[in-house]
Amino acid sequence: MKIAELLKKKTTLSFEVFPPKDEVPLDGIQNTLSHLYRFKPDFISCTYGAGGSKRGRNIELCEVVEKSGHTVMPHLTCVGHSRDEMKKIIKDYIDRGFENVLALRGDFPAGWNGTNGDFSHADELIAFLSAEFPQMCIAAAAYPEKHISAPSLETDIACLRSKQDNGAQFIITQLCHDVPAFERFLEQIRKAGVTIPVIAGIMPVLSCEPIIRMTIFNGCSIPAELAAIIGKYQNDPVSFTRAGIEYTAVQLHRYIAAGVNGLHLYSLNKWEKITETLNAAGISN
Ligand code: FAD
List pLDDT tens digits, range 9-26: 999 999 999 999 888 999
From the CA of 81, how far away is ligand 1's center (Å)?
A: 15
How far apart CA 153 and CA 159 sit, in angstroms, is 10
**What is the DSSP secondary structure assignment for residue 239, as one 8-state letter?**
H
From the CA of 105, how far away is ligand 1's center (Å)?
A: 5
**What is the three-class DSSP state of 214?**
helix
pTM, rounded to two decimals: 0.97
With DSSP H G I counted as helix, E B as strand and the rest as coil, what are the percentages for the chain, rounded to 5? Answer: 50, 15, 40
List pLDDT tens digits, range 128-167: 999 999 999 999 999 999 999 999 999 999 999 999 999 9
208 lines ligand 1 (CB under 6 A): no
The contacts of residue 112 (CB under 8 Å, 6+ apart) are 51, 79
Marked catalytic residue, from 5, 16, 124, 132: 16
Whether 5 is catalytic: no
Mean pLDDT, all residues of the chain:
96
CB 30 within 8 A of CB 20: no
- Look up the CATH number of domain 3-280: 3.20.20.220
Domain positions in the chain: 3-280
CB 38 within 8 A of CB 231: no
List pLDDT tens digits, range 256-268: 999 999 999 999 9
**What is the three-class DSSP state of 83?**
helix
From the CA of 143, how far away is ligand 1's center (Å)?
A: 9
Name residue 170's beta-bridge partners: 139
